[in-house]
């Protein structure tokens, strides 16, 4: 089975520029997650989708970050404008169903963002 | 609200000796608990999970973890370390509070000496 796909793998931008990341989850997985992993820290959940609805976006900086999951399949995460502190690896994950909490998440390779 | 604490940021062991990575959690509900591993420049991979079945959970690559409710712990162990075990390990908690929000620990870096 194909894994979670993410692109691009690397991105370097200047502060105040915008950037977008794309994620394609494992086929049939209803739940999709975006995480931010700053160097030396554990992943922090930014947003969780169940199909195309948002379950949790409490830690998403909504003044600059946005995410959508049209048609309940692939998803994009956008940052506009970027700040230096946004430099991190952005991870996408999917799971069969988040409703019971016991379903494992499958992670993509991540996008490493550097903001200069 | 749930939380997870990994008690050691770094653990160093010699090859062939036991591994112990410690994790304590807090949860108002019956939690699901996971251990993930992240090798350098690789994606996160599930090692094992606890979801209210057997309290001793066996995972891949010889790892296992024991859920101890009285101690709110979920420590990861392996009898004999291999060089290939050197990686970052994350303890993760998820419960139905807040819609099954997933919380990652800060991670434990495991070093394996030859």
* Among B101, B108, B109, the residue to mutate for chain A (most A Cβ within 10 A): B101
Residue A99 has pLDDT above 90, yes or no: no
| Residue-level pLDDT at B94 | 85
| Residue-level pLDDT at A98 | 52
How far apart CA B87 and CA B37 sit, in angstroms, is 7
| Residue-level pLDDT at A101 | 55
Query: pLDDT digit string (tens) for B65-109?
Result: 999 999 999 999 999 999 999 999 999 998 776 666 788 999 999
How far apart CA A116 and CA A98 sit, in angstroms, is 36
On chain A, the residues whose CB falls within 8 A of the CB of B99 are 48, 55-56, 98
- Mean of the per-residue pLDDT values of chain A: 91
- Mean of the per-residue pLDDT values of chain B: 91
Q: How many CB atoms lie within 10 A of CB A71?
A: 7
Q: Which residue has the tokens 């908690």?
A: B93
On chain B, the residues whose CB falls within 8 A of the CB of A44 are 104
* Among B34, B42, B43, B109, the residue to mutate for chain A (most A Cβ within 10 A): B43
List the one residue out of B55, B60, B56, B62 whose CA is nearest residue B78. Answer: B62
Contact B95, B27 (CB under 8 A): yes
């Amino acid at each position: 089975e194909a894994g979670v796909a993410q692109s691009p793998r690397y991105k370097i931008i200047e502060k105040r520029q915008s950037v977008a990341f794309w994620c394609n989850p494992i086929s049939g997985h209803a739940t999709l997650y975006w995480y931010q992993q700053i160097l030396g820290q554990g992943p922090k959940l930014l947003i969780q989708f169940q199909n195309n609805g948002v379950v949790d976006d409490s830690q998403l900086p909504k003044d600059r970050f946005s995410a959508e999951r049209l048609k309940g399949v692939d998803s994009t995460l956008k940052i506009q404008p970027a700040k230096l502190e946004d430099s991190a690896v952005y991870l996408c994950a999917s799971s069969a169903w988040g409703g019971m909490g016991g379903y494992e998440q499958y992670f993509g390779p991540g996008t490493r963002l550097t903001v200069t | 609200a749930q939380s997870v604490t990994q008690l050691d940021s770094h653990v160093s062991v010699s090859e062939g000796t036991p591994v112990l990575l410690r994790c304590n959690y807090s949860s108002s509900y019956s939690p699901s608990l996971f251990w993930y591993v992240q090798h350098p420049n690789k994606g996160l991979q599930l090692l094992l999970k606890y979801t209210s079945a057997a309290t001793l959970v066996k995972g891949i690559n010889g790892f296992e973890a024991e859920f101890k409710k009285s101690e709110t712990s979920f420590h990861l162990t392996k009898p004999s370390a291999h060089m290939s075990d050197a990686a970052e390990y994350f303890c993760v908690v998820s419960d139905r509070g807040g819609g099954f929000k997933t919380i990652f620990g800060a991670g434990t870096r495991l070093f394996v000496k030859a």
